A and B are shown apart, each in its own frame.
Chain A
Amino acid sequence: MKEVSRRTVLKGIGTAVALPMLECMMPLTALAQSLKARPNRMAFVFVPNGMNMDAFRPKAVGVGYDLPEILQPLAPVRESVSVLTGLAQRNAFALGDGPGDHARSTAVWLTGVKIKKTDGADIQCAVSVDQVAAQSIGDQTKFASLEIGCERGAMAGNCDSGYSCAYSSSISWRGPATPNAKEVSPRAVFERLFGSGATSEEAEAKAKRDLYNKSVLDFVIDDASRLKSQLGARDQLKLDEYLDGVREIEKRILAFEGRQNAEVLAGVEIPGKGIPRDRGEHIRLMSDMMVLAFQTDMTRVCTFMFANDGSNRPYQEIGINEGHHDISHHGKDETKLRKKKEIDVFHAQQLAYLLQKMQGIQEVDGTLLDNSMVVFGAGISDGDRHNHDDLPILLCGKGGGRLPAAQHFRFPNNTPMNNLFVTMLDKVGVDVETLGDSNGNLKELL
């Protein structure tokens, strides 16, 4: 069974992670940072097709709120989980643009702007909260941000009622027309972060190789800049994307090459190639990668899509053979509501795995979970109504001690979700007046 071996190869992570992390093992940047402020991480974890809200929404408000069925799996980490109800992404509603809620709510989830309905030309979204953070604090880590998920973008066809697939497969946006591609293979994430681990090059050979690669970068930057001047306006934007990409990589080489994580990685084995068929397995492996990236301070910002919105994948691993999207259009049918709840519980179990893993990592001051803010939720509230108010949202972690005690916050309905983002940005030291449709802070979280 391949699936089994994929699990076992990663068992090592648990071992490495359980060891208390000595300061001498810490990455230099993290160490320097800890003198001033603990690195505060941000992650956004997305689930598709709304939730069974009756099984999500706690009845009690405040600390010590009750745990409805979907939140039950989070019991072991409930001290680090706040429930936020009443938040909305108003711009995910049609507002004259007709259907396409799945694509729209995905692209709006972290941006809070009205997106342009187009199948291709003139894609118009906005920089998402994770990228606002990445563009500000990302220079302190090798990777400004990490984008992962379990489903590739759509492979063919019209993605959602006249919206390009660029909208429906990306929550992270670098620029108004540039979604951030996500990685879906655990092994590829690992190699991206830490290299293939196969090289035992001599120092001299490596130095030469780095020099050549650097020269190749110089060559292509030069080439791109020269070509750009010969192109039309739209084409120039494409060359800008190219140049942005190259410069980001150049930055990594200049500032972060040679940073070793040998101690942390010593106990870690590389994930197997390929993608597990079992979605739980897949999510947990990707979670391991996210945790590893945070732990080694390769990045402090991550977005993670458990699935793409509108996904019609069946969840055969928990005995559900109908497509998730079909089920989410429950029409108040008891059976479908039950199955929807079961899928939501399944996703909550995976989140619990991620949070517990983060909690198991001791940092200089508190655990990795203590030093993080993990937003979990969906862009649609009820999958049948396709409404984008009263969204199911969790805020996990302690934000480096800058979040109030875990509780159920009930905000006035239609409070912009972007108010949460403005508040979170403030807590990682990024000062923005407004973001998307925000109209203030969530002062309850200040």
Chain B
Amino acid sequence: MLAAVVTPEQQPQSQDAAFKARVKPLLTKYCVSCHGGSDPTAGLNLAGIETAAQAKAQPDRWKKLRQYVATGHMPPAGSPQPTQSERKAITDWVDAVIGARKPGDPGRVTVRRLNRSEYNNTVRDLLYLQATPAEEFPSDDVGYGFDNIGDVLTISPLLMEKYLAAAERLAAQAIVLPSSKTARYHGSDFGEARGSSVREDGDRKFTSHGFFGGAHEFPADGDYVLRASAYGEQAGPEVCKMEFRLDGRTLQVVDVAAVSPEPGTYQVPLKVKKGAHRLELGFINDYYNPEATDPRQRDRNLIIQYFEVVGPIGPDAPKPDSHTKLITMYPGTLEHPAAARRVIGDFAKRAFRRPVTAQELDKLVALYQLVRSKGDPYERGIQVAVTAVLASPSFIFRMETDSRPAEAGTEWIGHYALASRLSYFLWSSMPDDELFRLAADGKLGDAREIERQVDRMLKSPKAKALADDFAGQWLNLRLLETMTPDPGVFEGWTDQLKADMVAETKAFFMHVVQNDRTVVDFLEADYAFLNARLAEHYGVEGVSGDQLRRHEMRSPRRGGLVTQGSMLTVTSNPNRTSPVKRGKWILDNILGGTPPPPPPDVGAIEDDAKAMDESSLREKMERHRRDPNCAGCHARMDPLGFALDNFDGVGRWREKDGKWPIDDSGALPDGTKFNGAEGLQKLLVRRKDDFAEVLGSKLLTYALGRGLEPADDPTVQRIGGRAVKNGYRFSELVKGVATSDAFRKRLAER
């Protein structure tokens, strides 16, 4: 059925023929009485169209035409209406001619850079740092309602500057340089010495008696600590013994019981005068017995990795988590960068969210070596490599370069890219160890595994990102944060209350997510999350304290998103309610079927009320609505909003608007009647299947980072349908998204 759609490149004549046979008669019958003649409405003349080439020349115009026809907004109410199959004949032809994607194909997502919240969360998980560097980045532009859309996320020089500065600052925060009070000597320092040799990794291995070391300049009189990292290859009756010497005299002999791969740290205190003193470490109990039956008992050797002089002694700052977790190995030297290579490689792999190529790693290690060649310590070398990783496009962008061919014209998103798609969808952050492991094992190709991961990930505390980033935008909570209701009109309004409202809606949302509740709770719930301030604002008794807590609601007036202060405030003007905005909000976010923007040259209806003493807002609105140009859409939006007019511009209950009593009755164009918030909520619950699709489409947009097109309709329907069959549970919507072709595949580049 779908394959029957002809592609424009192949069959231009047959498109013209199809137009003449099927489309032209429909346009003539339904459209050209307005869109024809010498002064066609909106300047759109359909009478003169004969060929596909004419439509192809104006793709945007025809896309819009398609939208109006498909959604039933054209022809206008009161004119003869085409049948569904007639509408489809028009839209199919338009799709074929303007080269629209085929229904159900996966589409292709433009490479996305991290947005501000993804950047902050990723840095937290990657560097084990509590830092929010992206607060200083310019804001991310929004498209399709979300700020993670690849096409819209651009990089300006300003942002690039911020990236570089943040990379340098983060590396410096994460990795602590040895304080100037510590001087470190590696096994490879001081050249050749009797009894020992320098190994490939820069450690010094003593195979017989001997010492190594040299002069060290002590900056002041005082107490110092001489500290060494070492381990033994143990054999014979004793463990390895290591001797510390100062100016040729024995300071102390220690037993080195540690073995590979966990070197021990051994230290001795010393008191010296300012100036140069000779420091040495050595191996003093060599043992060699080639006759031993156990081959591991034949040879005793001592390996010294480094030693350092710390002091003069004062309080020393403890190293942060980031440092100890990132720098897992010492030492490394200019000539022996093996440890650095491991540390940098492990880090780059997590930062790039994929395996690192040898070529990439070589270049990073070269940076490290440059730093060492300038006499800076090991940690500084790692720091600079970390800076480069954080500034590189492989970190900043979510590259999806590991895809593999699927059926004709499409590709499977690679396992690593899929791990990132999942983690950025549900956590706004990088994959964790488990996701990385599954990617490495190639296990993410399996839809059941993806579903298992969704269950696991939604239960993680990191899923809070869904409340901040998804709900924060879906429900316009971020917009609320910038709003300033008029304190003269809404007495008692405070920023604290605004913050409480945002927190309330997020808590409510997270309750549904983490308990995997039905999403119908969003429409109608007999519980709410309140603190004393919100309860007082809402006129609810029996809640105390600062903390939000679950409260069972006895009145049907409140419960569900449309009665929460956040939604009621964000859809109001600074000094009064806006039923149009509330109605549009409900269509946008719950019922779907947002009217397209008004046709050209018809101004948007202004619900602006002149002085309130002339007539009620409602009467004014209804006068406006008599204009037939506006009636079609406003008849669907306004009644929904008026049902909520008992809530004022900041969500408080009221019986009157000024001197006018509230009329909360409403009727939709299809004749459905309802009253007030309670009636509206019942209506919304009856339409819960529509809501499942709307929420599914929002989640899909957010998960993919691209706008949806008509070709995505089948995907959205499948996602909604799956939830409907499975108790409307939130996780079912997420699983529907995460196992869809759109999420797991993409169109191959032509």
Contact = CB atoms under 8 A, between A and B. Distances in A.
Interface string B139-157: 1111111110111111111
Interface stretch (A17-25, A30-38, A229-237, A401-409): A229-237
Nearest to B490: A321
Interface stretch (A3-11, A59-67, A118-126): A118-126
B154 A179 contact: yes
Interface string A155-181: 111110110111001000010011111
Interface in B386-433: 387-388, 391-394, 396-397, 399, 401
Interface stretch (B215-223, B236-244, B363-371): B363-371
Contact of A157 (B160, B479, B574): B479
Contacts of B487: 316, 321
A117 B384 contact: no
Interface residues of A, number: 81
Interface in B564-602: 573-575, 588, 597-602
B247 interface: no
Contacts of B600: 94, 96-98
A232 B153 CA distance: 17
A222 B367 CA distance: 13
Interface string A389-425: 0000000000000000000000000000000000000
B200 interface: no
B574 A155 contact: no
B142 A153 contact: yes
Interface centre among A116, A118, A245 (most CB of B within 10 A): A245
A220 B60 contact: no
B142 A331 contact: no
A164 B146 CA distance: 10
A178 to B, nearest CB: 5
B397 A157 contact: no
A442 interface: no
Interface stretch (B281-289, B543-551, B603-611): B603-611
A44 B397 CA distance: 33
Nearest to A326: B573
A321 B707 CA distance: 36
Interface in A207-230: 208, 211-213, 215-217, 219-220, 222-224, 227, 230
Nearest to B610: A333
B394 A181 contact: no
Interface in A308-358: 312-314, 316, 321-323, 326, 329, 331, 333
B154 A220 contact: no
Contacts of A235: 110-111
B16 interface: no
Given A123-B152, A312-B574, A333-B610, A164 B143 contact: yes
A130 interface: no
A117 B488 contact: no
Nearest to A311: B482
A360 to B, nearest CB: 28
A322 B154 contact: no
A288 interface: no
Contact of B574 (A154, A180, A314): A314
A232 B161 contact: no
Contacts of B601: 94, 98
B661 interface: no
B4 interface: no
Interface string B100-111: 000000001011
Given A157-B476, A219-B388, A244 B152 contact: no
B484 interface: yes
A117 B488 CA distance: 39
Nearest to B156: A181
A213 B388 CA distance: 9
A264 B391 CA distance: 33
A100 interface: yes
A16 interface: no
B160 A238 contact: no
A169 B416 CA distance: 35
A248 interface: yes
A118 B149 CA distance: 13
Contacts of A159: 142
From A144, A222, A323, name the one whose CB has the most chain B CB atoms within 10 angstroms: A323
B384 A216 contact: yes
A153 B140 contact: yes
A386 interface: yes
A282 interface: no
A265 interface: no
A238 B111 contact: yes
Contacts of A118: 143
Interface string A53-94: 000000000000000000000000000000000000000001
A227 B399 contact: yes
Interface in B100-131: 108, 110-111, 113
A120 B610 contact: no
A121 B706 contact: yes
B192 interface: no
Given A227-B399, A321-B575, A215 B370 contact: yes
Most buried by A among B111, B142, B159, B482: B142
Given A156-B472, A249-B160, A162 B597 contact: yes
B158 interface: yes
B706 A238 contact: no
B479 A155 contact: yes
A313 B143 contact: no
B168 A213 contact: yes
Given A165-B142, A245-B155, 8 more contacts: A120-B149, A155-B481, A155-B482, A157-B142, A157-B479, A164-B141, A231-B111, A241-B156
20 contacts: A120-B149, A120-B706, A153-B141, A157-B476, A164-B152, A165-B142, A179-B154, A181-B154, A181-B158, A213-B168, A223-B394, A234-B111, A241-B156, A242-B396, A244-B155, A314-B574, A316-B487, A321-B487, A321-B574, A333-B610
Interface of A: 94, 96-100, 116-123, 144, 147, 152-159, 161-162, 164-166, 169, 174, 177-183, 185, 188, 192, 208, 211-213, 215-217, 219-220, 222-224, 227, 230-235, 238-239, 241-242, 244-246, 248-249, 312-314, 316, 321-323, 326, 329, 331, 333, 386
Interface of B: 42-44, 60-61, 108, 110-111, 113, 136, 138-147, 149-161, 164, 167-168, 360, 363-364, 367, 370-371, 374, 376, 384, 387-388, 391-394, 396-397, 399, 401, 472-473, 476-479, 481-482, 484, 486-489, 573-575, 588, 597-604, 606, 608, 610, 706-707, 749
Which 4 pairs show the lowest CB-CB distances between chains A and B? A120-B143, A245-B160, A181-B138, A321-B486
